Structure 1
Amino acid sequence: MATNLIVRGAPQEYELKTAAWQDLPKHLERRNLRKVMIIHGETSWQAVKGYFPDLSAYETSFYYYGKDCTDEAADHFAKLATEDQAEALIAVGGGKVADLTKLTAYRLNLPVIILPTLAATCAAYTPLSVVYNHEGVMLRYDIFPKATDLVLIDPQVLLESPYELMVAGIGDTLAKWYESDAIISQLAVKPLEIQVAEFAAKKCRDILLAESSAALQAMKEKQLNQAFIDIIETNILLAGMVGGFGDEYGRTSGAHSIHDALTVLPDSHKQLHGNKVAYGILVQLMIEQKVSEIRQLLPFYHQLGLPTNLQDMSLDLTEKDYQQVAERAAAPDEMIHFMKETITPEVIIQAMRDLETLTTDAWS
């Protein structure tokens, strides 16, 4: 477990309001920025470009980000930004777009501004990037010593984002409580920073369980409500605060280690990040022998359509697959070892199998 604690509490500026994106020129002017490079998604860009403000008074270049946040992609965009003489990078998209833009900006020591098109992760809020290889296998987290300069969130934009991505985001954010609690509960003394992280993590769980249904109904009806705004800020702001104040005590433990391990299976790439994390929560709870907690969560999972087992993710693992996943999850540098339990591949395989039995029997 980490012995040092560095607080990376928030972006330098964060604003959520309807039409927030239209204030981008004002923010650029305040920062004396004239040349900007915009890195964006593909499908998301087509859906949201009508919300993007007029930047005709600025020198701009627009680039599709590709597919993943990789070292090679960051090198590529760093070269383009240098050629364009960009003074700042702007991410318009989901978590991978945000992560790639942050990684690129860090290499160039440039300001980074993020306009999220999804509320599926806290990537817009946190000064870190999850880096993958070209096969989609997660390699590492890079944590940066500088916060994101500006986050502008327009809830109307997010209201029109894909429903299934919001569900996955809820699954991902729900892990904030279970993963941080597995670590923080071991502490005899909780510094104030840790207490803030713990508070934010518990609020994540409580708000998600109470308001997700109403927020998702808002998406179906294309009508903003307070529950939707609460879920947006839970997935982005509150979730970001957990790791921001808790550092390694508030980032990941069991659930994300299971997610990361599943990425070694090509068939798992069809599943959204948050869905695999949601499954990882249940595996973690099984390792902790918290079966009653799993049973309490199952109705919520089924209501939202989150996966409760491998079958729900259309994954049929062979013995070799189980071993490969378990060995990756139990690798010495994995954060699953922040849990108090002794973690071995055998422990993970048993938990995965027990979860299959429990969830199949419970809902057969």
Structure 2
Amino acid sequence: MTSVSVLASPSRYVQGKNAIAELGSHLKGLGTTPLLVADDIVWGLVESTLTEGFTTAGLAVTRVGFGRFATPASVDGLVDTIRSGGHDVIVGLGGGSAIDAAKAAGHLAGVRWASVPTAASSDAPTSALSVIYTEDGEFIEYRFFPRNPDLVLIDTQLVAGAPARFLIGGIGDALATWIEARATRRGTGTAMAGGRPTLAGTALAELSWDILWENALPALDAVRAKVVTPALEAVVEANTLLSGLGFESGGLAAAHAIHNGLTAAPQTHGLTHGEKVNIGSVTQLVLEGAPTDEIEAFIVFTTKVGLPNTLTEIGLTTGDLTELRAVAEAATVEGETIHNLPFPVTADQVVDALVAIEGLSRRVRAEHGLPEPVKYVAGH
């Protein structure tokens, strides 16, 4: 076990209403020939305002499209584009996979990189790592980089205009941050930054948790009305900056390992990252033997937010033991973050905990007059 603690963070974080208009001015200090990576939908949302800002900053607009996942092939393709076009900074615009692909390509090409999420759907933008998937969305690996993004910029008006499900997913991802960071702190594991958790990283993880419990529901009201409010600003910061710093310098544990395992189950395809992470959070609480009141409060809260906390809601059942075994085996492979828990964990224990959350969550929801789970059907 290392005795060194590490805190990692982006060089600059910018957040606010209509912040996309200022992207050019912030990039001007990083390079002169940026490459923008965005899918057609995202580009349709930002092109006009972004182009105006780039013109003011004296920067040319060069954009390439992006598919659904950050795959090895998509990363290599971006590296080729960077080199052939002489670009000195790459910008990932949109969702987590576009941003992850841009980070990975920027590292391989030796240029600077920036993250510009258009929804607060995960804490990936601030980190010095990328999650790489197959073309079908199955987890392959984490890729770690020696530095974090040079810039993270998020426009809260774009967040307000995005589907509420994106913000819900980000809340699920961020809620896991404190659950995992405190477990890592109690154990002997390392954070994603490469050392023991810092006190700052752990504290930021807890701050993210506190902000979400106070502001998540009114922030979702704001997104459904497509307006920016203080509650939405707070949740965007919690989802993006605080959770990003908290997971990277505080540590991941079972919630994200179980998410990675779930990507191997075809029934779960189409769910957001945060939706699958929330199943991991509930399962981790069961694995830890967390206080009953805490588990029940988490189930009530996440149900109100709109996050899944039963197998039914991710397309599985307690009878799908072959799939659950595959998920558990993947979640407990050597090197997975589940081993940051302060006790040994086996695949058998994970299967039992996954089975247990179905009845547990159904009971709690019934006792609090909350809706029964609705079965998720993946769109194959």
Q: Find the counterpart in structure 1 of residue 173 from structure 2.
A: 172
| Correspondence 1:225 to 2:226 | no
Is 1:93 the counterpart of 2:94? The answer is yes
| Pairs aligned (count) | 355
User: C-alpha root-mean-square deviation of aligned residues, in Å?
Assistant: 1.9
Write out aligned runs for 1:339-358 (5 A): 339-358=341-360
Bigger shift: 354-363 or 90-99? Answer: 354-363
1:46 is aligned to 44
Normalised by the size of structure 2, how large is the TM-score? 0.88
2:34 matches 1:30: no
Q: Per-residue CA shift, 1:214-237, capped at 9, x if unaligned?
A: 111111122211110000000111
Amino acid at match of 1:106: H
Does the 8 Å CA contact 2:7/2:201 hold for their aligned counterparts? no
Query: Does structure 2 retain, via aligned residues, the 8 Å contact 1:168–1:275?
Result: yes
Q: Which residue of 2 aligns with 1:258?
A: 258
Deviations 1:82-132 (A, max 9, x none): 111112111111111111100000001101122210111122211211111
1:299 aligns with 2:300: yes
One-letter amino acid of the counterpart of residue 21, structure 1: I
For the Cα contact (< 8 Å) 1:61–1:84, is it kept in 2? Answer: no
**Does the 8 Å CA contact 2:181/2:202 hold for their aligned counterparts?**
yes
What SS does the aligned partner of 1:131 have?
strand
Contact in 1 for aligned 2:254/2:284 (Cα 8 Å): yes
**C-alpha distance in 1 between matches for 2:45 and 2:19:** 17
Pairwise CA distance, 1:293: 1.7
- Corresponding residue number in structure 2 for 1:331: 333
Tell me the SS of whatever aligns to 1:60.
Answer: coil
The match for 1:241 is 245
CA change 1:29–1:43 in 2 (3 A) is closer
* Distance of 1:96 and 1:192 partners within structure 2: 27
Once the two structures are TM-superposed, the CA of residue 302 in structure 1 deviates from its matched residue by: 1.4
Deviations 1:122-145 (A, max 9, x none): 222112111112231112212211
Deviations 1:256-298 (A, max 9, x none): 0110001111121121110010111000010111133211112
Structure 2 unaligned regions, length at least 5: 189-194, 367-380
Task: Give 1:309's aligned residue.
Answer: 310
Counterpart-to-counterpart distance in 2, 1:355 and 1:274: 17
Name the amino acid aligned to 1:19. N
- Residue matched to 1:281: 281
Residue in 1 that maps onto 2:140:
139
Normalization by structure 1: what TM-score?
A: 0.92
SS of residue matched to 1:270: coil
Q: Is the 8 A contact 2:4 2:196 kept in 1?
A: no
Which residues of structure 1 form unaligned runs of 5+?
none
Decide whether aligned partners of structure 1 residues 30 and 256 sit closer, same or farther in structure 2, where only a CA change above 3 A counts. closer
Asked whether the equivalents of residues 300 and 364 of structure 2 are also in contact (C-alpha less than 8 Å), the reply is: no
1:30 positional shift: 3.2
Cα deviation 1:334-358 (Å, max 9, x = unaligned): 1101112221111111111111121
2:40 is aligned with what amino acid?
A: E
Distance in 2 separating the partners of 1:219 and 1:186: 38
Does the aligned pair in 2 maintain the 1:41–1:94 contact within 8 Å? no
Which amino acid in 2 is paired with 1:294? I
Preserved contact between residue 130 and residue 140 of structure 1 (Cα < 8 Å): yes
2:300 and 2:365 in contact (8 A); partners too: no
Q: Cα distance, 1:193 vs. partner?
A: 6.3
Distance 2:155 2:61 in 1: 21
Match of 2:205 in 1: 201
- The letter of the residue matching 2:33 is K
Q: Letter of the 1:226 partner, please give it.
A: P
The change in CA–CA distance for 1:266 and 1:25 in structure 2 (over 3 A counts) is same
